[in-house]
Structure 1
């Protein structure tokens, strides 16, 4: 992780045991540290910008001061969010309060967009009726210094956000960075106005407002997905399967579902083992995998065991045919839970069919019928029972 001397020093002094980010208490302290530093720094910068803006009669600078004031408010929201999200699970919220972090991030995004809209409204009026600005070199230097401070604050927040993998802190970092960029636009607008181009103040206000709306949209888009439920990354799915296969009795893992609740993660999955294992041995495999996922990923896991007949000739024949069909279709993406049940009347071939997640419901059913027809050509007397895996499972 990128090192920053001043930021690292603040973390070391303010958060004992700061390296143990797996501890929810440490995570909460780091989040609250970012909020308090942001509140203090932004309170000072707000006062400086508003005083300078009123002195030189610059709407864009006053708007920038209000933007910085909104940073104080959002940091208070961050402080509240980390206080609540750090609470342990209770009767009403058995999965903990971690998703409060997502809600606070969404609040930050909405506030950014609202402030940006208000800036644009005011700036259009200033563009229609420009007002002369009398800014000295001292004022311009002061604006430049506030820009540098906000840039550092953005780096500080991002460093903490990356350290504890917090969407809220990353969003707050972008909020600070947007303030730094808006200060740069204000610097250009105020300087241009002082040189005899007063309309630039209104232009600067519009640009600042547009940038705030865009920043709010980007932040909101990033947090709505985990609130609604988003797929696990391919890297996480691969890591889960790798950890499962580390147990020698495990053939493979599939039907992986992951739910994130802030810093709490819950995983449900199926693992395939030989049907020659006893019930006790299969249970031990499941327990070992649950313990391993908790140790390596900090996740609470539920493991379902799928026994596989590795000696059945019919299973091998069906598997070979399905492998051939996989090469012929873009929709048919895989299969698992393959088993053959023999009854006095006929054999029943059962398996779960995996289709690509972008496939429509109609094409899913068409692919299932196609696979079923191909299997009946090879096994005309068999019953074919194909279950399509739901789109929320992976692996």
Structure 2
């Protein structure tokens, strides 16, 4: 467990440093070159830094062991961090959209300088590498916060591609005297904003479902059913509810046993149910077992 959080924290720190450097580079070159799309992209990278800091705080809270006030653990801290990242994405996306739309109702913009293209190419490469690294690690250690960070990097990579097309179009428009192409730069900024907002809403929705403790669907809990029905002494699984709690799953289960056995024997069966679920499913951390006397209709 400790190694899981260590890997996630290292990945998050790598993201903070990389995004900080990219935000400074893109912001400065965007200002020097006069590219609105690149400045918008710099703001996106800056939001990544803020998001990564929130994720880091969430990871450090999530790894705390259960206590009196949090008997189920602190796993949902990761989901809170995910929602913070999502909100940052949405806010940044709206700001980018407003900035880009203003251009269409003002004076004819000037085309950015060619140096902007070099900065965007570097950004695309770095952000895609960060996405691949964090996406694979998030899937491996089952971290929603790290997965949110990965998609934040991918959104930055996609926005950089849109910015590249916009800047290139604006430069070509000025060079070949096609004024309409100069608007490609702010248009790219608008496309970037749509991408960012969409990803933000998607992440917020997914984490909100976990925060509201939505139970897993029938297909996902079927393996848990099979594990319990194979445990000696279990006559029937009356009810099994599984809910995510951050990176792990909490199970509430009712099983029927022979009504004529002793309380101690029933207790031992419940311990075997808990042990069987935790030993056979690495994503299950907490199991609460209720024992029912076996009848044709158990309740």
* TM-score calculated relative to the size of structure 2: 0.91
- Report the number of matched residues: 289
Q: Distance in 1 between matches of 2:220 and 2:234?
A: 18
Report matched runs for 1:1-395 at 5 Å. 23=1, 25-128=2-105, 129-136=107-114, 138-196=115-173, 197-297=181-281, 298-309=284-295, 336-337=297-298
What is the Cα deviation at residue 276 of structure 1?
Answer: 4.1
If each structure's helix is expressed as a fraction of its own residues, which one has the higher value? 2
What is the Cα deviation at residue 264 of structure 1?
Answer: 4.5
**Alpha-carbon displacement from aligned partner over 1:306-343 (angstroms, at most 9, x marks no partner):** 2225xxxxx5xxxxxxxxxxxxxxxxxxxx41xxxxxx
What is the Cα deviation at residue 144 of structure 1?
Answer: 1.6
Q: Distance in 1 between matches of 2:167 and 2:12?
A: 30
Q: Is the 8 A contact 2:30 2:116 kept in 1?
A: no
Q: Is the 8 A contact 1:59 1:126 kept in 2?
A: no
**Alpha-carbon displacement from aligned partner over 1:224-261 (angstroms, at most 9, x marks no partner):** 00001111243442122211111232222122123432
Q: Is the 8 A contact 2:72 2:286 kept in 1?
A: no
**Alpha-carbon displacement from aligned partner over 1:262-290 (angstroms, at most 9, x marks no partner):** 24533221112233434333222122112
3-state DSSP of counterpart to 2:235: strand
* TM-score calculated relative to the size of structure 1: 0.69
Choose 1 or 2 for highest CA Rg. Answer: 1
Q: Is the 8 A contact 2:213 2:245 kept in 1?
A: no
If each structure's strand is expressed as a fraction of its own residues, which one has the higher value? 1
Q: Distance in 1 between matches of 2:197 and 2:95?
A: 10
**Structure 2 unaligned residues grouped into runs of 5+:** 174-180
Q: Is the 8 A contact 1:293 1:300 kept in 2?
A: no
Structure 2 partner of 1:385? none
Structure 2 partner of 1:340? none
Structure 2 partner of 1:331? none
Instruction: Show structure 1 runs of 4+ deviating over 4 A.
Output: none
RMSD: 1.8
Q: Is the 8 A contact 2:135 2:150 kept in 1?
A: yes
**Alpha-carbon displacement from aligned partner over 1:64-83 (angstroms, at most 9, x marks no partner):** 11111111111111111111
3-state DSSP of counterpart to 2:111: coil
